C-alpha cells in the first residue's frame, strides 16, 4: 500500500530562496519514480505552473476539504519551511518540519524575540521529525531553542545545472564591456548591501548591480545614497529574470555577498556554478557552505572590505582559474537529485 505524503509548496510562487527551493524540489518530484509513495502537493490558489498526473493537489487554506474530496488520507505531512503552518491535527498525519533558519535570533530583541523563540519551540514539539538545511542551523537551534527528543537530519539545498541555462543581458546594463560587481537578494538589513557602497569610491571604473526585492526603508536609504553619490554606477534593479541573473553571474568581475544572516546561502552556490570570484561575509552558514573556495570579509569596515576585495581581484589568473575549477566541482555536491533522495528516505522512515 502506498504511503500518502502531503508536501507544502504554498511558497512556490515566491521570488525568494524559499520559493526557489520549492520550485526546484517540486520539479524533481514530478519526475521521480517512487512506487511506494504517493505525493500530494499543496499549492497556492493562483498557481499556474505544471501539474503532474502522478501528483494530487490541495489548495492552500482548503487542505482538509480537498483531501476529503479526493478520498485520501495523509500519512505524513511535510511542512517545507518554518513560516508555514503545521498539518491540521484532524489530518492524523505524522509531521516533518523543515527549518531553514532562525534569523530572528539576530534580528529581534526583547519580548519580540522571546515570542518567536516560544513559537518555534512549540512547532518543534508538535512535529515528529525535523530537517534543517545546514549544520549551522542545527547548532543555532540547539543553542537557542533545542530539539527535545526529536530526530534531526541535515539536508543541504540543491542547485540545478544553471550554468548551461539561457542567459540574457539585462536592459539596465547599458555598457556590457564595463566591469561590474554583482549581488542578489532581498534588499533588507540582514543582507547588509549598504556596506558595499563605500567600495565604489575606490573602484571608480566598476559598476555595482544590487538585484532583488526592495520592500522597505533600508532599500530607500540605499536608493538615496545612490542618487547623491553613485548615480550611473550603482543600480538597485529590483527583481530580475533567471536568464538575467545567469548573465550577471557569468560576466561579473566579482560576486559580493556581505550577508549577516544565512541558513544556507543559495546565491553563493549559484555563483560557484559560474566560477565567479566570490567575496562574502564569514558569518553564520557561509563558511560551512563555501569552505576555502572564496574570499571572506572578517568585518564590515570600509577599509577591511576594500582590502579583501582588492586582494581577491589581484589573485593571479592561473591561480584563480585553478581554484574556480575546484570550486565548481565541489559545488556540484549541492544538487536536487541528492536533495530529493534524502527526503524520499525520510518519507519512508518517519
Phi then psi dihedrals of residue 6, to 5 deg: -90, 130
What Rg, from alpha-carbon coordinates, does the chain have?
21
User: How many residues in total does the chain contain?
Assistant: 350
- 0.75 exceeded by the pTM? yes
Phi then psi dihedrals of residue 41, to 5 deg: -100, 135
Phi then psi dihedrals of residue 283, to 5 deg: -90, 160
Cα–Cα distance between 128 and 136 in angstroms, integer?
21
The pLDDT of residue 54 is 87
Strand partners, 55: 39
Cα–Cα distance between 222 and 226 in angstroms, integer?
6
For residue 330 the three cell numbers come to: 565541489
Per-residue pLDDT of the chain in tens (350 residues, 90 and over written 9): 899 999 999 999 988 888 889 999 999 999 999 999 999 999 999 888 889 988 999 999 899 999 999 999 999 999 999 988 888 877 889 999 999 999 999 899 999 999 999 999 999 999 999 999 999 999 999 999 999 999 999 999 999 999 999 999 999 999 989 999 999 999 999 999 999 999 999 999 999 999 999 999 999 999 999 999 999 999 999 999 999 999 999 999 999 999 999 999 999 999 999 999 999 999 999 999 999 999 999 999 999 999 999 999 999 999 999 999 999 999 999 999 999 999 999 999 99
Which distant-in-sequence residues (6+ apart) come within 8 Å of 58 by Cβ?
A: 6, 40, 41, 42, 43, 66, 67
Cα–Cα distance between 151 and 262 in angstroms, integer?
23
DSSP-derived 3-state class of residue 95: strand
Catalogue the E-assigned strands of the chain: 3-8, 37-43, 55-59, 76-79, 94-99, 129-132, 151-154, 179-184, 206-211, 234-238, 254-257, 278-281, 295-297
How far from chain centre, in Å, is Cα 301? 26
Which distant-in-sequence residues (6+ apart) come within 8 Å of 197 by Cβ?
A: 208, 222, 225, 226, 229, 230, 234
DSSP-derived 3-state class of residue 159: coil
How far from chain centre, in Å, is Cα 190? 14
Phi-psi domain of 289 (left: phi exceeds 0; alpha: psi -120 through 50; beta: other): alpha
The pLDDT of residue 90 is 74
Cα–Cα distance between 261 and 283 in angstroms, integer?
7
Contact 263, 134 (CB under 8 A): yes
Domains of the chain from N-terminus onward: 3-158+335-349 (3.40.50.2000), 180-332 (3.40.50.2000)
For residue 48 the three cell numbers come to: 499556474
Residue with cell 536568464: 243
Over the range 308-340, which residues count as b (16 or more CB within 10 Å of their CB) and which as e? bbeebbeeeeeebeebbeebeeebeebbbeebb
Residue with cell 539576530: 106
Q: Count CB-CB contacts under 10 A for residue 258.
A: 19
For residue 155 the three cell numbers come to: 539536508
Amino acid at each position: 500500500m502506498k504511503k500518502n505524503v502531503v508536501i507544502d509548496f504554498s511558497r512556490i510562487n515566491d521570488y525568494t530562496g524559499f520559493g526557489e527551493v520549492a520550485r526546484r524540489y517540486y520539479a524533481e518530484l514530478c519526475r521521480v519514480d517512487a512506487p511506494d509513495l504517493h505525493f500530494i502537493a499543496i499549492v497556492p490558489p493562483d498557481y499556474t505552473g505544471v501539474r503532474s498526473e502522478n501528483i494530487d493537489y490541495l489548495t492552500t487554506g482548503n487542505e482538509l476539504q480537498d483531501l476529503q474530496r479526493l478520498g485520501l488520507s495523509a500519512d505524513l505531512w511535510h511542512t517545507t519551511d518554518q513560516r508555514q503552518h503545521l498539518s491540521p491535527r484532524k489530518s492524523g498525519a505524522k509531521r516533518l518540519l523543515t527549518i531553514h533558519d532562525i534569523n530572528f535570533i539576530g534580528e529581534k530583541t526583547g519580548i519580540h524575540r522571546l515570542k518567536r523563540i516560544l513559537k518555534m519551540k512549540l512547532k518543534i514539539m508538535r512535529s515528529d521529525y525535523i530537517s534543517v538545511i545546514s549544520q549551522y542551523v542545527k547548532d543555532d537551534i540547539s543553542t537557542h531553542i533545542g530539539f527535545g527528543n526529536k530526530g534531526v537530519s541535515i539536508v543541504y539545498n540543491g542547485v540545478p545545472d544553471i550554468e548551461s541555462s539561457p542567459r540574457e543581458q539585462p536592459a539596465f546594463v547599458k555598457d556590457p564591456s564595463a566591469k561590474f560587481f554583482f549581488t542578489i537578494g532581498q534588499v533588507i538589513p540582514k543582507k547588509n548591501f549598504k556596506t558595499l557602497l563605500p567600495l565604489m569610491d575606490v573602484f571608480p571604473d566598476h559598476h555595482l548591480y544590487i538585484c532583488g526585492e526592495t520592500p522597505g526603508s533600508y532599500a530607500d536609504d540605499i536608493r538615496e545614497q545612490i542618487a547623491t553619490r553613485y548615480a550611473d554606477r550603482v543600480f538597485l534593479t529590483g527583481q530580475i529574470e533567471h536568464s538575467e541573473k545567469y548573465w550577471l553571474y557569468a560576466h561579473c568581475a566579482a560576486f559580493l555577498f556581505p550577508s549577516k544572516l544565512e541558513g544556507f546561502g543559495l546565491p553563493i552556490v549559484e555563483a560557484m556554478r559560474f566560477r565567479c570570484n566570490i567575496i562574502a561575509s564569514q558569518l553564520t552558514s557561509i563558511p560551512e557552505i563555501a569552505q576555502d573556495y572564496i574570499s571572506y570579509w572578517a568585518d564590515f569596515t570600509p577599509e577591511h572590505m576594500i582590502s579583501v576585495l582588492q586582494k581577491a581581484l589581484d589573485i593571479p589568473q592561473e591561480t584563480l582559474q585553478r581554484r574556480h575549477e575546484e570550486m565548481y566541482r565541489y559545488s556540484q555536491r549541492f544538487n536536487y537529485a541528492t536533495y530529493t533522495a534524502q527526503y524520499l528516505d525520510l518519507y519512508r522512515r518517519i
